[in-house]
Structures are given as C-alpha cells and as structure tokens.
A and B are shown apart, each in its own frame.
Chain A
Amino acid sequence: MKALGQLAVICAIALAAAGGTWWIKGPPQRTLPCDPASLQPDEVCLAQIPADAAVLWVDARPRDEWQRNGLEGSLLWNLDPAEDMQAFEAAAAVRIIETPRVIVYCGDENCGVSRQVAQQIRALGLGAEVFVLFGGWRSLSEAGRVRGSSPKP
C-alpha cells in the first residue's frame, strides 16, 4: 500500500513537471527543425531560401509522388531504373542554363536519393550550384509550399 502511495506521488510530480514545461516552453516541436550550423556543406534549410529566389527545384522522389504533390515548376530526376536518365539530364541541362541554382529534395530527412541526384547533376559539369534540401519534401510540406499542404507552426 505504501509503495502504491509512493508511485502516485512520483506520477503526480512527473505530471506537474511535464505540465509546467508545456506551460513555460509551449507544446512539443513536431516540425522538423533545421539548424544551418549543423548542416552538411551541400545542404540547405528551406528557411534560407527566399520564396521568390530563382531556384530550379528537382524532385528526386518516384514519378507518381512527383505528379501527385511535387513542387510547382519542379523537375523530376530520380534513380528509378525504369526512367530515362538521359532524358533527365537533357531536361535539367535546358533549365540549368536559365537557372543555375539547383535544389534537390526527396521524401524526408532520411532519404539519400537527393544527394545522389545532386552528385549526378554536378557531374554534368554545367556549372550549376547544387544543394540538397534538408528535410526534403517533408520540410516543403510543413512550410505549406506543396499542393494540399498548409504551414505548420
């Protein structure tokens, strides 16, 4: 019985501490935080890119996802063996001449395809500045930048 009482006291203290933290610091962060200081050299936070910046967005997700909710004006370039890589290269080359700043995104912060696609774009040797978007499509969605999304606090 004494143990149950102690357990109840511990739970009450924990609950009060959690409530206090919520009250002081606000609700937990559910969006993906991006700290420019901890980025890899080829990565960029979405917040670092002005909304009106001249950027060629490259979507490295599968074609059906790009068609469903890719960023408007983005170019598809993924590593699907069923796709025509040379068509991706040609389409990118045409756009890079006009817009030499390229940002590649894939599904989320855990997806490595965007980095591989970024390397392939650099390998074209067209002189483009190529970055990988930290957080990928997830960060675009959280910022309300893609179809059907709205900004998250």
Chain B
Amino acid sequence: MKKIRYTCMMVAAMTALAQAAGLDFPQALKEIQAPADAKVVTAEFEFTNPTDKPVRIVKYDAACSCMAIKIKDSKLSYGPGESGVLRADFAMGNFSGTVDKVVALWLDDDPADKPSVKLTVRVHIPVLVSLEPKTLKWEVNAAADAQTIRITMNHDSPIRVTAVNSSSPAFQHELKTIEDGKLYELSVKPLEINSPALAILRIETDCSLAQHRLQQAFAVVRKP
C-alpha cells in the first residue's frame, strides 16, 4: 500500500513539474502585411498559463534593436489560468520584402541557452522599387557582353529614376526608359575583363518614401 502511495506521489510530482514548464501561446507566428509607408508595425501575442502552478517570465529578448517588446501591464508572473499579452513593435528601418523576427522568452528555470518559448513576427514589406537581378556577373576573361538590370516600380503613383551613379570607371552603364514611372532597364558592360572588378551602382529615384528612394545594385567581374 505504501509503495502505491509513493508511486502516486512521484507521478503527481513529475506531472506538476512538466506542467510548470510553460505558457500557452495559441499563435506563435504572426504575419503582418505592412503598408509601404509604415515606420513601425505591431504584433500582439496572447498567452495563458494552462498549468496549475504560477509561471514567471524571467527574461525576453528579440535579438534585434529593431524590435521593442512589452508585456501588458509589465506583469511577469501568471497564476494558473491567467492570461496576458506580449506586444512586439518592429521598427521597419529600410527593410523590404519578407522579414522574420524572433522573440525568445525564458520562463522560470529555463537555462540561459534554451528559452522555452520562441515567437515569430513575419512582416511582409512592399518592394516599391524592384531590381532584377540585383547583381550582374561576368567571369574573368569571358565575353564582356552588356547585361541588363530591370527596374520595376510597384506603386500606385509613378516612380522615376533620376540618376544612376557607378563607383567604378571599369564599367559603363546606360539607362533606358521602357515606361515612364513604371519600368526601366539599366544596361551595364565591363570595359575590361582581365581581372576581378566591382562596381556599386546607386540608383536614385523620386519615390516619395525615403526608405525606398535609393537603391543599390552590383556589377562584378570575378574569377570562375
């Protein structure tokens, strides 16, 4: 009888320990479609303590200064059944395309290298000025044919290319307007192809949104 009671107590203790492990986040991934002019986007993660023990958030970290984390009412301890909200504010800077940001949460006795919760904020940021390809490549001693970067504007209002500057005289470039405010082609040709070379091409536009205004492409002659 004693043995049975002891076994039951051990099972109960182990179960309690396992439950104490966490907070329940119904959505660990939040996807946000950001407007082109957004400077900050916010994701809110709701959570509940489903265990029968209090759970404490010891530490949280976004591993990026672009992300500010706040927990509603700065409350870090949650009793059984209690709920809370974690808010992540993502400063978009000059990110574009799809960006994933991860927030790690350490609970109670989590080791420093193993947070028990990882949340992801996936932000889709419109690419108003698209360069395709972003890099043009030639091989040393190959044919020095001209190659083209296609510059496409993906905005409601027209965006015009106002200037193209190259960091290197080893390449010549020519801009063609295919459709004003919508589509351009930048033709680039290396003047010599006997040794590795790089040009950084800065493409200036009249885009009203500063973070999209200046674009950058590369032309490179490299060893095979």
Residues of A within 8 A of B (CB): 32, 62, 78-86, 89-90, 93-94, 97-98, 100, 106-113, 116, 123-127
Known A123-B134, A126-B135; contact A112-B63, beta-carbon cutoff 8 A: yes
**16 A-B residue pairs with CB within 8 Å:** A79-B65, A80-B93, A81-B92, A81-B94, A84-B94, A85-B94, A85-B95, A93-B198, A94-B198, A94-B200, A97-B198, A97-B220, A98-B196, A108-B113, A110-B104, A126-B220
* A-B pairs, 9 with minimum CB distance: A81-B93, A125-B135, A81-B91, A81-B66, A80-B65, A86-B216, A112-B102, A97-B198, A79-B64
What number of B residues sit within 8 Å (CB to CB) of A?
31
Is B214 in contact with A110, judged by CB distance below 8 angstroms? no
List residues 84-103 of chain B with CB under 8 A from any CB of chain A.
91-95, 99-100, 102
Is B216 in contact with A113, judged by CB distance below 8 angstroms? no
Which A residues are CB-close (under 8 A) to B182?
Answer: none
Minimum distance in angstroms from B169 CB to a CB of chain A: 16
**CB of B218 closer than 8 Å to a CB of A:** yes
Residues of B within 8 A of A (CB): 63-66, 91-95, 99-100, 102, 104, 112-115, 133-135, 137, 167, 196-198, 200, 214, 216, 218, 220, 222
Alpha-carbon gap, A94 to B53, bound state (A): 56
Is B214 in contact with A124, judged by CB distance below 8 angstroms? no
Alpha-carbon gap, A89 to B216, bound state (A): 9
Which B residues are CB-close (under 8 A) to A111?
Answer: 63
Alpha-carbon gap, A124 to B63, bound state (A): 23
Alpha-carbon gap, A22 to B141, bound state (A): 62
Minimum distance in angstroms from B128 CB to a CB of chain A: 15
Which B residues are CB-close (under 8 A) to A112?
Answer: 63, 102
Is A86 in contact with B94, judged by CB distance below 8 angstroms? yes
**Chain B residue nearest to A91 in the complex (CB):** B200
Minimum distance in angstroms from A76 CB to a CB of chain B: 13
Is B113 in contact with A110, judged by CB distance below 8 angstroms? yes
Which A residues are CB-close (under 8 A) to B133?
Answer: 125
Is A93 in contact with B115, judged by CB distance below 8 angstroms? no
- Residue from A85, A98, A100, A125 in contact with B137 in the complex, judged by beta carbons closer than 8 Å: A125
